[in-house]
Structure 1
Amino acid sequence: MTTFAQDLRYALRQLKKTPAFTVTVLLTLALGIGANAAIFTLVNSILLRSLPAADPSALVRGGAINDCCVGSGWRNDGDYSLFSTEAYEEMKKGSPEFVELAAIQAGFTFRPVTVRGDDPGALPKSVMGEYVSGNYFRTFGLRPYAGRLFTDADDTKGAPMTAVISYAAWQRDFNGNPDIVGKTFWVNTKPVAIIGIAPKGFYGDRLVATPPDYYLPIETMPSIMNVPYVHDPNTNWLYIVGRVKPGTAPLPLQEKLSAQLRQALLKTRINFTSEAGKTKLARSHVTLTPAGNGIMWMQEAYGAHLHLLTWTAALVLLVACANVANLLLVRGMARKVEMSVRAAMGAGRDRLIRQLLTESILLSGIGGLLGLVVAYGGTRALLALAFPGEHGVPIEAAPSTAVIAFSIGLSVLTGLLFGLAPAFVASRAEPADVLRSGSRTTTGGTSKLQKVLVITQAALSFVLLVGAGLFAQSLRKLENTDMKLETRNRYIVHINPQAAGYKQTQLEALYREMEDRFHAIPGIQKVGITSYTPMEDNNNGWGWNAEGLLNVSHGASVIRVSPEYFDSVGTKLLAGRNIGIGDTPTAPRVAVVNQSFAKKFFGDTNPIGRRIGTAESHSGDYEIVGVVQDTTYTTVRWTDHLMVFLPTLQRVATDGPIEDDLNLYAGALVLQTDRPIHEMETIARRTLAAINPNLTVVKFQTFDEQIADRFTEERLLSRLTMMFGGLALLLAAIGLYGVTAYTVVRRTNEIGIRMALGADRGGVMAMILRGAILQVIIGLAIGVPATLVCVRFVRSQLYQVTGVDPGVLLGALAVLGLAACVAGLVPARRAASINPVEALRIE
Structure 2
Amino acid sequence: MFSDLIFRLRALFRRTTVENELDEELRFHFDQQVEKHMRSGMSQQEATRRTRLEFGGMTQVKENCRESRGTNLLETIGADILFAFRQLRRTPAFTITALLTLALGIGANAAIFTLVHAVLQKDLPVANPALLVRLGDTNDCCVGMGMSDSMSYFSTDAYEHLKKNTPEFEELAAMQAGFGYRPIVVRREGTQDPPRSVAGEFVSGNYFRTFGLQPHAGRLFTEADDKEGAQPTAVISYEAWQTRFQGDPTVIGSTFRVNTRPVTIIGIAPRNFFGDRLIRNPPEYYLPIETMPALANVPYVHNPKQNWLYMIGRVKPGTDLAQLQQKITAELRNELVAVGRFSPDHDKAKLTRLHITLTPGGAGITTMKEQYGDHLKLLMATAGLVLLIACANIANLLLVRGIARTTEMSVRTALGAMRSRIIRQLLTESVLLAILGGIAGLLVAYAGTRMLLALAFPDAASIPVHATPSLAVVGFACALSLVTGILFGLAPAWNASRTQPADALRSSSRTSTSGASLLQKGLVVFQIALSLVLLIAACLFLQSLKKLQGSDMKLNATNRYIIHINPQAAGYTQFQLDALYHTMEDRFHALPGVTKVGIASYTPMEDNNNGWGIEAHAHPQKGAISSVIRINGDYFDSVGTHVLMGRGINERDTPTAPRVAVVNQTFVRKIFQPGENPIGQHFGFPGADTNNAWEIVGVVEDTIYQNVRWKDHLMFFIPTMQEPESRTDPIDKDDALYAGALVVATDHPVDGMEAIAQHTLASINPDLTVVRFDTFDQQIAANFTEERLISRLTMLFGGLALLLAAIGSYGVTAYSVVRRNQEIGVRMALGANRSTVMLMILRGATIQTALGMLIGIPVALLCVRFVQSQLYEIAGLDAIVITSSVVILAIAAAIAAIIPAQRASSINPMDALRME
Matches for 1:614-625 after TM superposition, within 5 Å: 614-618=685-689, 621-625=693-697
8 A Cα contact 1:71 1:236, kept in partner: yes
Query: Which of these residues, 535, 557, 574, is aligned with residue 487 of structure 1?
Result: 557
Distance 1:657 1:651 in 2: 10
Give per-residue Cα distances to partners, 1:166-203, cap 9 Å, x unaligned: 00000111000010100110000110000000000000
Letter aligned with residue 773 of structure 1: T
8 A Cα contact 1:333 1:442, kept in partner: no
- Aligned-pair distance for 1:732? 0.4
8 A Cα contact 1:433 1:441, kept in partner: no
Query: Which of these residues, 32, 35, 40, is aligned with residue 113 of structure 2?
Result: 40
Aligned to 2:702: 630
Aligned to 2:814: 741
Whether 2:897 is the aligned partner of 1:827: answer: no
- Aligned-pair distance for 1:90? 1.0
Letter aligned with residue 667 of structure 1: G
Matches for 1:385-464 after TM superposition, within 5 Å: 385-438=455-508, 447-464=517-534
Whether 2:373 is the aligned partner of 1:309: answer: no
Aligned to 1:527: 597
Aligned to 1:143: 214
For the residue of structure 1 that corresponds to 2:641, the secondary structure is coil
Matches for 1:124-523 after TM superposition, within 5 Å: 124-275=195-346, 277-438=347-508, 447-523=517-593
Distance 2:695 2:288 in 1: 42
Aligned to 2:721: 649
- Aligned-pair distance for 1:269? 3.4
8 A Cα contact 2:187 2:196, kept in partner: yes
Aligned to 1:814: 887
Letter aligned with residue 464 of structure 2: P
For the residue of structure 1 that corresponds to 2:517, the secondary structure is helix
Distance 1:648 1:226 in 2: 19
Aligned to 1:27: 100
For the residue of structure 2 that corresponds to 1:491, the secondary structure is strand
Distance 1:386 1:74 in 2: 32
Aligned to 2:23: none
Aligned to 2:680: 609
Moved more, 262-271 or 513-522: 262-271
Change (3 A) 1:48 1:12: same
Moved more, 43-52 or 599-608: 599-608
Whether 2:760 is the aligned partner of 1:687: answer: yes
Distance 1:579 1:796 in 2: 39
Distance 1:315 1:439 in 2: 37
- Aligned-pair distance for 1:445? 9.7
8 A Cα contact 1:530 1:668, kept in partner: yes
Distance 1:386 1:73 in 2: 32
Gaps of 5+ in 2: 1-73
Gaps of 5+ in 1: none
Give per-residue Cα distances to partners, 1:357-379, cap 9 Å, x unaligned: 00000100000000000000000
Give per-residue Cα distances to partners, 1:226-275, cap 9 Å, x unaligned: 11111111111111100011111101111111111011101233342444
8 A Cα contact 2:515 2:820, kept in partner: no
- Aligned-pair distance for 1:444? 5.1
Letter aligned with residue 854 of structure 2: A
8 A Cα contact 1:63 1:289, kept in partner: yes
Distance 2:825 2:273 in 1: 72
Query: Which of these residues, 524, 548, 559, is aligned with residue 629 of structure 2?
Result: 559
- Aligned-pair distance for 1:479? 0.3
Distance 2:567 2:685 in 1: 26
Distance 2:509 2:889 in 1: 32
For the residue of structure 2 that corresponds to 1:744, the secondary structure is helix
Distance 2:272 2:192 in 1: 31
Change (3 A) 1:776 1:108: farther
Give per-residue Cα distances to partners, 1:62-115, cap 9 Å, x unaligned: 00111001111432xx21111111111111111111110001111272531000
Query: Which of these residues, 796, 800, 809, is aligned with residue 869 of structure 2?
Result: 796
8 A Cα contact 1:563 1:580, kept in partner: yes
Distance 1:679 1:533 in 2: 21
Change (3 A) 1:428 1:600: same
Change (3 A) 1:348 1:693: same
Give per-residue Cα distances to partners, 1:563-601, cap 9 Å, x unaligned: 000000000010000101000000000000001101111
Distance 2:590 2:688 in 1: 44
8 A Cα contact 2:446 2:468, kept in partner: yes
8 A Cα contact 1:618 1:653, kept in partner: no
Whether 2:745 is the aligned partner of 1:672: answer: yes
- Aligned-pair distance for 1:405? 0.5
Give per-residue Cα distances to partners, 1:405-426, cap 9 Å, x unaligned: 0000000001011101111111
Distance 1:820 1:284 in 2: 60
- Aligned-pair distance for 1:121? 2.7
**Largest Rg, 1 or 2:** 2
Give per-residue Cα distances to partners, 1:349-394, cap 9 Å, x unaligned: 1000000000000100000000000000000000000000213101
Q: TM-score, normalised by structure 1?
A: 0.99
Give per-residue Cα distances to partners, 1:436-457, cap 9 Å, x unaligned: 2446686959611000000000
Give per-residue Cα distances to partners, 1:754-797, cap 9 Å, x unaligned: 10011111111111111111101000010000000000000000
Distance 2:233 2:790 in 1: 43
Letter aligned with residue 334 of structure 1: A
Q: TM-score, normalised by structure 2?
A: 0.91
For the residue of structure 1 that corresponds to 2:282, the secondary structure is coil
Give per-residue Cα distances to partners, 1:287-344, cap 9 Å, x unaligned: 1110001111001100000000000000000000000000000000000000000000
Change (3 A) 1:792 1:654: same
Distance 1:777 1:438 in 2: 33
8 A Cα contact 1:559 1:644, kept in partner: yes
Residues matched between the structures, number: 840
For the residue of structure 2 that corresponds to 1:264, the secondary structure is helix
Distance 1:121 1:168 in 2: 22
8 A Cα contact 2:599 2:635, kept in partner: yes
Give per-residue Cα distances to partners, 1:725-771, cap 9 Å, x unaligned: 00000000000000000000011011001100111111111111111
Moved more, 115-124 or 707-716: 115-124
- Aligned-pair distance for 1:119? 2.0
Aligned to 1:107: 178
Percent sequence identity is 62
Letter aligned with residue 840 of structure 2: M
Letter aligned with residue 454 of structure 2: A
Moved more, 521-530 or 610-619: 610-619
8 A Cα contact 2:516 2:816, kept in partner: no
Aligned to 2:12: none
8 A Cα contact 2:512 2:823, kept in partner: no
Distance 1:330 1:320 in 2: 15
Distance 1:654 1:471 in 2: 49
Distance 2:122 2:665 in 1: 45
Give per-residue Cα distances to partners, 1:133-181, cap 9 Å, x unaligned: 0000000000000100000000000100000000000011100001010
8 A Cα contact 1:67 1:107, kept in partner: no
